[in-house]
Amino acid sequence: MSTAVETSQAHAAGEAEIATFYVGNQLMGVNIQQVQEINRHVKVTAVPHALDCVRGVINLRGEVVTVVDLRTILGLEQTEISDQSRNVIVKSRDEKIGLLVDRIADVESIRTEETEPPPANVSGVDGRFFKGIHKLESELLVILDVEEVLSTEGNEP
Amino acid sequence: MSLDNEKIIEEFTVESQEHLADVENDLLAIEAAGADIDLDLVNKVFRAVHSIKGASGFLGFTTIGELSHSLENILNLIRNKELVPTSAIVDALLRAADALRGLINDIHHSNEADVSEHVDALKKVIAGETSQSVRDSLEQMVRIGEPGRPAFEVSKHTLETQKRFGNHLYTLEFDLIADVEDKGKTPLNLVKELMALGEMVEARLDLANCEAGLDGEIPDTISFVVLFGTVVDVEMLADAFELTPERVHSIDIEDALPVPAEAESHRREETEKAVDTPVPPDVPAAEPKKEVSATAAGASPKPAETNIRVSVGLLDHLMNLAGELVLSRNQLIQYVSSGRLDGLESIASQLDQITSELQESIMQTRMQAIGTVFTKFPRVVRDLSGKLGKQCELTLTGKEVELDKSIIEAIGDPLTHLVRNSIDHGIERPDQRTAKGKNATGTISLKAFHQAGKVNIAIQDDGAGINGDKLKEKAVAKGLITSDQAHEMSERDAVRLIFHPGFSMAEVVSDVSGRGVGMDVVKTNIEKLGGTVDIDTEVGVGTTVQIKLPLTLAIIPSLVVRGGEDRFAIPQVNISELVRIRPNEVARKIERVKDAEVLRLRGNLLPLLRLSTAMGMQSKYLDPQPAELKDSHRERIVDRREPDDAAVVEHEKSRSGTPRRQNTAAGALNIIVVEAGHLRYGLIVDALHDSEEIVVKPLGRHMKDSPCLAGATILGNGNVALILDVAGIASKSQLSAPEEDTARGEKVSGESVSDESQSVLLFTNDPSEQFGAPMGLITRIERIRSEQIDSVGGQEVLQYRGSTLPLLTLESQIKAKPRPEQPKLYVVVFSISGREVGLIAPQLVDIREIPAEMDAVTFSEPGVLGSVIADGKTTRLIDLFALAEKAHPEWFADRQSVETTQGETPTLLLVEDSGFFRSQLTSFMESEGYQVVACEDGLVAWGTLQDPEQCFDLVVTDIEMPNMNGLGLARKIKGDPLFAHLPIVAVTSLASEEDIQRGFEAGIDDYQIKLDREKLVASVARHLKAAKLKAGVTAEQPATGIRS
């Protein structure tokens, strides 16, 4: 037990790589460890009577994967699909889930100790979805709490 | 401990679980046998417990050792006939065995568990039930061992037992390093070897040595000493275990036994004080602790099954298939890289075949007999009925029925709940039962059987039944339904209220079934498995809960349809038939009842739902336009009893559906008649696609709550299709079965005396003449192009799937106008004399229930059964057999004539209320060479049977008849020793599986369709022969047997 805690602390103090993307005009990111792959948003099968945030399901090499609209979850209007739309496939509680984002950006290496706790709200989005905020040279990077984003409770109005 | 490694422990757990698996039922059998002790059985249990004890000692599981030791003691007494297994004793044993199982399932915490309660209970059994001398000898400990050698303390009783079995007693000294590990064995192997040769009376592991091993140094020796009782002599023993003679010590039992007289009297006083005084000599004293132990056993963690046994043959087969798969892949890669396309098809079909075979074989490895679940019920029934003061008998049938492992694992809980419910609420108390004139002992039967590609499990009791009105009252009181709804509710729906969440059946919530887990949970759990559950009850008679489960969860045949823009898969098991309604028929066939669309289908109303609406999508469908009148046609696609054919025709349907896409767009309706439990409704889909075998994939957690979906699958084109949950859609749309629908199979017109009707396919040859063919005889219907028909030597044949199908035309056989030329036509396929024959039916009209009574005179000619009025048109009913016989007499030339070996013509008793069928069947059978005596109902038949002048060989009976029906007659015949030997063949118009089941229970030997002359004749001949054989065996003297 004690060793596990130590490693995670060591990790927290070190560097982390964050896969970043835009949701609206806001740069957001998740730890690259959690990202399985990033796909074009292609053929999605709509799921009737599902939660509003569910865009549908896709065939990811034989696996049926749910795609959720990150914008809807964050309380913004629905994402409009464009050439730049991407699904960021993350692994959460042993399930692969696609996060639909507007546009993908770089992988940023950040020093975790420089991450600041999130304010109550960023560009109109509830702060509970954020793990922290990181100041990049040109803009702010919001680091998402994937589990909170994908929680099926309380995200729906 | 160095020995204490996970692998050995796992092996121990698995083996112990296997040992314990049968113990429960064996104990119940021991109880049933009572004083008449079955030594083999007791020995079996003893050895099971003994092995656990032996191995646990090794692995340091002292608690398990202690408990199994106590169990072993009792079993030992039983097998020595020093203890008679009473109910109370078996109770204690069962509870201890439960606890033991609990310990083993949670092996790592077993040493912390407290089993003193069970150990005490078992001790009390000994104290209460055994004679003084036995108790004494158990109490008296004897020290065995020479000075300087390891010594054991065992009870005098143990020694006496060994002596009684004629065993020699030895101490064996093993070194676990040199004798076991270095020889590549595990300690468990050693235990097994020991058990094979005798009994390990005691064993000791030298732990001091082992602890030293913890320092990182592997100890040189670990001494393991066994006190061993066996009939084998010393040399053989040393040989068998490869032990040097000095490590095998023979012990003289006589010497070891203490001097009897004084020792015994001395001990007696002590034991009497110690044992008798504080403990009432009565075993039921153990009862108060029952609750605790029961919960302890119930709450113990379930063993997660991680291993599965697969036969080596199957494994080899899989290996071969894998080999073939690799070969095909290599071939495929070669072809693709060479750019050739010509041979690709054969590789594709090869791959297809291997894949299907592989899939099938892998499925087989997962199939397990449902018996593994059933075996726990004798105990459940015994315990619970005892607790509730009821008497129940349990019958189990179909233990060998196999289901996918995952279903087997999940079905246990729902079944237990249902069985508990049956005992708690169904079966009445003995006094109540006797007052009602029932047997004091109630019967619960668990039955598993295959039906239409599904596994059915029926839990049936002959208890009080469920009062639908009471349920309604209660539901209204609870606010689950309004009183209006209750008023409108049918009896069937009312009974189904018990599946409503928050509805407990017991008026007084008992601790047995009213603990918050209601029937709704059972229903949900079964539905999660892709199954359905329904209930059938009759107040005062009993209740049957019927569960239908798919064989496997992973791959299911299904029909792909389109609703809105998306494709959906509907599991084939839910589909009962497909109905296509042409635009011009829509207005006539679809009616509106209170805002709901219903389809008039064969005289019944079927509620309709639009798939796109149910799914909250925009229907991509043009408005139907009622237009000019044309001939109506509808295909009955699914003959439910023959799923293979159904699939074939469906395939045909979807193929033929494609070119008619324009037709679809013009407003024809595709309706899929689906079934979920007793609920039946039509789902209007926007288009039909293929039928496919789909692989079920679970949906993610964001969609877990969607009631309309059962999962997802990936189609051939790579897109995801959702799998529809038929029952979920119905409940989401608040659909309930209309009254008319539940009375399915009702006649359309009730003019005739007979209550029966016949399902008939109506078609025209020339559009002005309507004909009918009995549905029961039709295998399937094909739609073909007229150019597919070849004329060979005056015989029309259909080129069909690589072979030819002989075709019959009406105009060539009977007086009928010739068919008009048309590009496409239908062929009605039926089989006769083992071959398939097609009848050209240019235009299909409908499927109708027509009354069984018909005019057999007006159009009398070979090939025509008679005529009826259907849809206002005179319709001639075709006799398919006569037609075939007329066209091809050579097919029937080799038909066997009736066996009249004894020089007598067999006499049949024919019971049939419909005059038409009576004369039909009489002429059938008479033309086969039988003598037929016909009666118009069961009562008359029963009277005729009593006539001493008459002697019958077989009974052919209808089921539905006035005065006494076929089932009643069958019961009477089978209940009378004079007639019980008579085979009974029932004839019906079209029987459901349930009817057939009921018939078999009543004693009917076979079921045949009335107009299926060929099968009926074959069945009669077969049963006559069987009856004759049987009679021969019992009647003939052995002497005559030899002479002949």
Instruction: Quick: pLDDT tens for B196-208.
Output: 777 777 777 765 5
Chain B: closest CA distance from residue A67 (Å): 9
- In tens, the pLDDT along B806-854 reads 888 888 888 888 888 888 888 888 877 667 888 888 888 887 777 766 7
Average pLDDT of chain B? Answer: 75
Query: 3-class DSSP state for residue A62?
Result: coil
Specify the pLDDT at position B1009.
75
Verify whether the Cβ–Cβ distance B718 to A45 is below 8 Å. Answer: no
Verify whether the Cβ–Cβ distance B617 to A62 is below 8 Å. Answer: no
Q: Which residues in A lie closer than 8 A to residue B704 (C-beta atoms)?
A: 152
- Residue B619, Cβ neighbours under 10 Å: how many? 16
User: Best of A43, A49, A152, A155 to disrupt the B interface by mutation (most B CBs within 10 Å)?
Assistant: A49
Specify the pLDDT at position B238.
77
Residue indicated by tokens 């408990």: B67
Q: How far is residue B635's CA from residue B508's CA, in Å, rounded to a whole number?
A: 52
- In tens, the pLDDT along A69-112 reads 998 888 888 888 888 889 999 988 878 999 999 999 999 888 88
Q: Does residue B750 have a pLDDT over 80?
A: no
Q: Does residue B895 have a pLDDT over 60?
A: no
Residues of A numbered 84-103 whose beta carbons fall under 8 angstroms of chain B's beta carbons: which are they?
Answer: 93, 95, 97
Measured CA distances, B360 to B237, B318, B451 (Å) = 49, 10, 19
Residue with the bigger pLDDT between B877 and B142: it is B877
For the stretch B334-367, what's the b/e string if a residue is b when 16 or more beta carbons lie within 10 angstroms of its beta carbon? Answer: ebeeeeeeeeeeebeebbeebeebbeebeeeebe
CA B748 vs. chain centroid, Å, equals: 35
Chain A: closest CA distance from residue B685 (Å): 15
Does residue A47 belong to the interface with chain B, where contact is any CB pair within 8 Å? yes
Q: Band of the pLDDT at B903, cuts 50, 70, 90?
A: low
Q: Does residue B647 have a pLDDT over 60?
A: no
Specify the pLDDT at position B452.
62
Verify whether the Cβ–Cβ distance B698 to A152 is below 8 Å. Answer: no
- In tens, the pLDDT along B450-505 reads 776 678 899 998 888 888 888 888 778 877 778 887 887 777 778 888 887 666 54
A to B CB pairs, distance under 8 Å:
75
Q: In sequence order, what DSSP letters do the residues of B310-374 get, joined into one string?
A: --HHHHHHHHHHHHHHHHHHHHHHHHHHHT--TTHHHHHHHHHHHHHHHHHHHHHHHEEETHHHH
Verify whether the Cβ–Cβ distance B714 to A59 is below 8 Å. Answer: yes
Amino acid at B993: E
User: Given A45, A95, A152, which is nearest B722 (Cβ)?
Assistant: A45
Specify the pLDDT at position B1037.
41
Q: Band of the pLDDT at B1015, cuts 50, 70, 90?
A: confident
A94 φ/ψ sector (left φ>0, alpha ψ -120 to 50, else beta): left
Query: Any residues with CB less than 8 A from the CB of B250 and at least 6 apart, and which?
Result: B168, B169, B170, B234
Mean pLDDT of A114-125: 75
Q: Which residues in B lie closer than 8 A to residue A49 (C-beta atoms)?
A: 615-616, 706-709, 732
Residue indicated by tokens 């009817």: B995
Q: Band of the pLDDT at B746, cuts 50, 70, 90?
A: very low
Does residue A63 belong to the interface with chain B, where contact is any CB pair within 8 Å? yes
Backbone angles phi, psi at B579, to 5 degrees: -125, 130
Mean pLDDT of B216-222: 62
Question: In which element (H, E) is residue B47 found?
Answer: helix B39-59
Q: Which domains does chain A have, with CATH numbers?
A: 16-149 (2.40.50.180)
Q: Does residue B672 have a pLDDT over 50?
A: yes
User: Given A43, A58, A95, which is nearest B701 (Cβ)?
Assistant: A95
Q: How far is residue B915's CA from residue B938's CA, in Å, rounded to a whole number?
A: 14
Verify whether the Cβ–Cβ distance B697 to A64 is below 8 Å. Answer: yes
Specify the pLDDT at position B618.
62
Token pair in block for residue B625: 């336009």
Token pair in block for residue B93: 């044993």
User: Given A58, A59, A68, which is nearest B702 (Cβ)?
Assistant: A68
Amino acid at B177: I
Query: Any residues with CB less than 8 A from the CB of B311 and at least 6 apart, and which?
Result: none
Specify the pLDDT at position B251.
77
Q: Band of the pLDDT at B889, cuts 50, 70, 90?
A: confident
Specify the pLDDT at position B453.
65
Verify whether the Cβ–Cβ distance B702 to A63 is below 8 Å. Answer: no
Chain B: closest CA distance from residue A65 (Å): 7
Mean pLDDT of B130-152: 69
Query: Any residues with CB less than 8 A from the CB of B760 and at least 6 apart, and which?
Result: B772, B773, B774, B775, B847, B848, B849, B850, B870, B875, B877
Specify the pLDDT at position B405.
82
Specify the pLDDT at position B634.
34
Specify the pLDDT at position B902.
53
Amino acid at B197: L
Q: Which residues in B lie closer than 8 A to residue A90 (C-beta atoms)?
A: none
- In tens, the pLDDT along B759-773 reads 788 888 888 888 888
Q: How far is residue B676's CA from residue B454's CA, in Å, rounded to a whole number?
A: 13
Highest mean pLDDT among B58-67, B176-185, B295-304: B58-67
Q: Band of the pLDDT at B561, cuts 50, 70, 90?
A: very high
Specify the pLDDT at position B1033.
55
Does residue A57 belong to the interface with chain B, where contact is any CB pair within 8 Å? yes
The separation between the first and the last C-alpha atoms of chain A, rounded to the nearest angstrom, is 39
Verify whether the Cβ–Cβ distance B732 to A64 is below 8 Å. Answer: no
Amino acid at B4: D
Q: Does residue A145 have a pLDDT over 80?
A: yes
User: Given B566, B697, B700, which is nearest A46 (Cβ)?
Assistant: B566
Specify the pLDDT at position B570.
92
- Residue B387, Cβ neighbours under 10 Å: how many? 15
pTM of the model: 0.45
Mean pLDDT of B772-784: 80
Token pair in block for residue B349: 């079909």
Q: Does residue B143 have a pLDDT over 50?
A: yes
Verify whether the Cβ–Cβ distance B712 to A57 is below 8 Å. Answer: yes
Specify the pLDDT at position A32.
92
User: Given B615, B697, B719, which is nearest A48 (Cβ)?
Assistant: B615
Task: Name the residue in chain B with its Cα closest to that of A50.
Answer: B703
> Which range has the worst mean pLDDT, B403-412, B593-602, B888-897, B971-980?
B888-897
Measured CA distances, B662 to B565, B633, B666, B673 (Å) = 17, 17, 6, 23
Q: Does residue B749 have a pLDDT over 60?
A: no
Query: Any residues with CB less than 8 A from the CB of B747 and at least 6 apart, and which?
Result: B603, B755, B756, B757, B849, B851
pLDDT above 90 covers a percentage of chain B that reads 3
Q: Does residue B69 have a pLDDT over 70?
A: yes
Q: Band of the pLDDT at B927, cuts 50, 70, 90?
A: confident
Residue with the bigger pLDDT between A123 and B672: it is B672
Specify the pLDDT at position B564.
80
Mean pLDDT of B938-945: 86
Q: Which residues in B lie closer than 8 A to residue A47 (C-beta atoms)?
A: 699, 703, 706, 709, 722
Q: A54 has which bridge partners?
A: A68
Task: Name the residue in chain B with its Cα closest to that of A47.
Answer: B722
Highest mean pLDDT among B602-611, B620-629, B744-753: B602-611
Specify the pLDDT at position B260.
52
Mean pLDDT of B615-640: 42
User: Given A59, A63, A97, which is nearest B718 (Cβ)?
Assistant: A59
Query: Any residues with CB less than 8 A from the CB of B280 and at least 6 apart, and which?
Result: B128
Mean pLDDT of B976-1005: 79
> Which range has the worst mean pLDDT, B238-242, B686-690, B903-907?
B903-907
Q: Which residues in B lie closer than 8 A to residue A53 (C-beta atoms)?
A: 702
Q: B487 has which bridge partners?
A: none
Q: Which residues in A lie closer than 8 A to residue B566 (C-beta atoms)?
A: 45-46
Q: Which residues in A lie closer than 8 A to residue B709 (C-beta atoms)?
A: 47-49
Mean pLDDT of B382-395: 86
Q: How far is residue B104's CA from residue B125's CA, in Å, rounded to a whole number?
A: 24
> Which range has the worst mean pLDDT, B2-11, B305-314, B408-417?
B2-11
Q: Which residues in A lie closer than 8 A to residue B719 (C-beta atoms)?
A: 43, 45, 59
Q: Does residue B214 have a pLDDT over 50?
A: no
Does residue A51 belong to the interface with chain B, where contact is any CB pair within 8 Å? yes
Mean pLDDT of B14-20: 82
Task: Name the residue in chain B with its Cα closest to that of A69.
Answer: B702
Question: In which element (H, E) is residue B806 found?
Answer: strand B803-808
Of B777, B346, B729, which is closest to residue B568 (Cα–Cα)?
Answer: B729
